[in-house]
Structure 1
């Protein structure tokens, strides 16, 4: 138990130093679950991670995402780097890329994207979108994410 507490404190410290989040580690069946909530531009972003056998297992998925959630909340305002996407699965990368389109009101044909984005409070489908309305940052990020999918 003392070893688990040490790991918990270490992970909490790393979380606070790296991203300035508030986290609450919980030891559960010899796993440490860290619940992070970061607020950016009035958007609450939830991240649940489990540390198991010294590996962080991300638990963000479209099934447990709250309905006011962004995969990458700043993908329309900042150029992305590898560090921004390196822990995302292929599914999460596809959602992150399509979230840029969704912010412009793109109406999705594929059921998985239509269902996911329709469940987000911030999403308002308006139809097809003109890529000329996208910023240079958004165009760059779409291509950047696509290159890692």
Structure 2
């Protein structure tokens, strides 16, 4: 058997076909140039946006850092400040049913009792409240 070969031969284009092809390629080239230009503008807009957002973040971090330093300084000042020394006040004493009593050293200055805040002096002056606090064994008043 013999070999069968087919040859593809280019057919020359007419002047009209060449002009049409040239116009089509110029149009595609122009569209491509416009797409590239559009892409480059979008790329630049994105870079500008990223730069703006980065600047905002940098400013925000700087502001945050300043606030942190101010906070740390305030904490340092407070921790270095001498603690308020407690005035050594002798706990109040009283006599009830011929026995001596004294408020404990850790008793709060204002004692909530029966829906009202009472000072030590007010408790001593009110026998009913004094009786209930002593009788209740709350540990706020001790027998001495």
| Greater RCO, CA 8 A, separation 6+ | 1
Q: Which has the higher helix share?
A: 2
Determine if the TM-score, normalized by the shorter chain, exceeds 0.5: no
- Band the TM-score falls in, shorter-chain normalisation: under 0.3
Given the two structures, how large is their TM-score scaled by the length of structure 2?
A: 0.24
Q: Which has the higher strand share?
A: 1
